[in-house]
Amino acid sequence: MRVTRSIIPNLFTLANLFCGFGSIVASADGDLDRAAVLILLSGIFDALDGFVARLVNSTSEFGVELDSLCDAVSFGVAPSMMLWMAVFHEWLNWGLLLAALPALLGVLRLARFNVQLTSMEDKAYFRGMPIPAGALTVVSYIIFVHPSAMVPDEWKLWSATGVVVLTSLAMVSTIKYDNLPRPSARSFRERPFVFLVFFAGIVTIIATGGQALFPFMAFYIVGGAVRHVVYLFVTGGRDESDDTIEESDPDPFSM
């Protein structure tokens, strides 16, 4: 077997998958805190594999496909398993369907991304919320909001249902969501407001021990949707922008 430099980013991608599998096992054992930490580690490895691939100049279609397969487990199946164990097991078959939504629609999101990918370069926006962002939204709700007193007990199941449905639909929508800006002077010059918002969000999340993660993700989802509606209203319903990482057509979703 010939070993090439592409093995380096692929190892980070496989570490993402390993953490995702570990999260599923932790959820099955009832340890949701450990499951959440492992999904967070999956997100770190997911960010690092792309960075390392560009660093060693080894981006490829193989890497994209491998990354999507691993993301389907770590950010689709693993959060769905957490949802089932933490919330929806009480609703039996209907609960099973609701818990599976992030995995089902997340995989559709990844498939659309792959067939519409036209460039290995980073772009400013994604069409539809990326599946790692969807996983962070679901996991932060399970860990920080659902067990707390912020939601009355009689509304907890319905609150979780709303979060899951909205997050899943955001992933398969055609709403433009900002890509995570790279920590560089160039990124700051090109999108200073977005850079500052993400930086402030990360600092706040760390300072609050993760408590601010769900509000930040909710702001990300709602802010992207509001901007999209305003843009369509201003342009008369025409979405002619071409600065996403994906082509606008063909698109199997119409949201």
**Which one is predicted more confidently, 114 or 118?**
114
CB 87 within 8 A of CB 99: yes
What residue ranges in 57-175 does DSSP mark as E strands? Answer: 125-127
pLDDT, tens only, 178-200: 887 776 677 677 778 888 989 99
- Give the span between the Cα atoms of 50 and 59, in whole angstroms: 8
Structurally, at CATH architecture level, domain 7-234 sits in Up-down Bundle (1.20)
Instruction: Look at residue 195 and give its three-state secondary structure.
Output: helix
- Give the span between the Cα atoms of 92 and 250, in whole angstroms: 37
How buried is residue 158: exposed, middle or buried, by Cβ count under 10 Å (0-12/13-18/19+)?
Answer: exposed
Q: Which pLDDT does position 247 carry in this prediction?
A: 42
CA angle 28, 29, 35 (to 5 degrees): 75
- Measured from the Cβ of residue 179, the count of other Cβ atoms closer than 10 Å reads 18
Q: Which pLDDT does position 118 carry in this prediction?
A: 61
- Give the span between the Cα atoms of 224 and 219, in whole angstroms: 8
Read off the pLDDT band of 114 (50, 70, 90): confident
**Is a pLDDT exceeding 80 seen at residue 59?**
no
CB 95 within 8 A of CB 161: no
DSSP 8-state secondary structure symbol assigned to residue 246: B
Provide the whole-model pTM. 0.87
Average pLDDT over residues 39-54: 89
Query: Where do the domains of the chain lie?
Result: 7-234
CB 5 within 8 A of CB 60: no
CA angle 69, 216, 221 (to 5 degrees): 60
Q: Which helix (H) or strand (E) holds 234?
A: helix 213-234
